[in-house]
Structure formats: C-alpha cells, structure tokens
Amino acid sequence: MIDMIWVEAHQGLLLSLAGASVLMFIGSLIALPFLLARIPEDYFVDPHRHSARLKSLHPVVYVSLRLFKNLVGWVLVLAGILMLVLPGQGILTIIMGLVLSDFPGKYALERRLASKQRVLDGINWIRRRSGHPPLVPPQI
C-alpha cells in the first residue's frame, strides 16, 4: 500500500526516468555504430593512439575538445551502467565511454576489455555492418 502511494506521488519522476531510458536506448543505437566505426584499426595496439592531430590545434581549441570529449565519454559510461539494468547496449556503451575519456590506466583497461573475445567480436560485428575493417586485437 505504501509503495503505491509513493508511485502515485512520483508519477512525473517515473515517467521522466522511463523517457530517459528510451532516449538512451535510441541514442546508443544511433551513436555506437558511428563511434565504433571511427576507431582506428590499430587503436588497441598503438600506444600513441593518434593524438598528434589534436595537439596541433590552437591550445584553447585543444583543451575545449578534450573537455568535451571527456564529458561525452563519462556520460556514455554512466548511461552504459544504467543500460546494464535498462534496455540498451550497456557493455559496448561503457567501452565507448572509456575510449573517449582520459584517466590514468586507461590504455591498460581498454586493452584488457578488448582482449575479451566476446567484446571484440561485438565491436567488430558492428564495424563490419558499417563497412569498416575489424580492429586488430591487443596482445596481452
């Protein structure tokens, strides 16, 4: 009885959460193939990982892009965690968020995750469907 009173009192909140869940699900279905296709084939084996292109930009643009990239990355990580219990591609969304984010130990964590055959197969399946070659698996 008490639970129904709480539900009735918070219908707006529950509808907002349901709407956010649907939007995250649709957003992940649209964004993940695009983001996965943009990863260079040698991303998990190249320790420099193509950062020179960004560093050649004006310092204000460089810092702004890094901040934006990290913000998007952490939003994807949080959305992926939510998608573990809500509809969506939770694990792949978390991985994409980690790829976009910068933090100590990132390279080792990415390589460990990508070395899991099921994870790499899922990423490469999406890349194949979008017409991109598979990622080179990391050697751990």
Mean pLDDT, rounded, of the chain: 82
CB 81 within 8 A of CB 94: yes
Choice between 18 and 116, residue whose per-residue pLDDT is larger: 116
- Total domains in the chain come to 1
In a domain, 91, yes or no: yes
Q: What gap in Å lies between CA 138 and CA 113, rounded to an integer? A: 10
Q: What gap in Å lies between CA 91 and CA 97, rounded to an integer? A: 10
Q: Give the total residue count for the chain.
A: 140
Q: What are phi and psi of 130, to 5 degrees?
A: -95, 10
Question: What's the token pair of residue 16?
Answer: 């907002």
In a domain, 139, yes or no: no
Q: Which residue's structure tokens are 């909140």?
A: 13
This prediction has a pTM of 0.61
pLDDT band at 36 (very low <50, low <70, confident <90, very high): confident
In a domain, 94, yes or no: yes
Q: Identify the pLDDT of residue 121.
A: 92
The yes-or-no verdict on residue 1 having pLDDT over 60 is: no
Query: Of the candidates 80, 77, 92, 82, which has an alpha carbon nearest to the alpha carbon of residue 33?
Result: 92
Choice between 5 and 131, residue whose per-residue pLDDT is larger: 131
In a domain, 43, yes or no: yes
In a domain, 135, yes or no: no
> Could you tell me the residue range of the domain that residue 113 belongs to?
2-129
Query: Of the candidates 7, 27, 2, 17, which has an alpha carbon nearest to the alpha carbon of residue 89?
Result: 27
In a domain, 134, yes or no: no
Q: What are phi and psi of 31, to 5 degrees?
A: -80, -40
In a domain, 102, yes or no: yes
pLDDT tens-digit readout, 49-101: 656 666 777 889 888 988 998 998 898 888 888 878 876 678 777 877 887 88
Mean pLDDT of 111-137: 89
Would you give the DSSP letter of residue 42?
A: T
pLDDT band at 14 (very low <50, low <70, confident <90, very high): confident
Q: Identify the pLDDT of residue 125.
A: 92
Query: Of the candidates 95, 66, 63, 68, which has an alpha carbon nearest to the alpha carbon of residue 79?
Result: 95
In a domain, 15, yes or no: yes
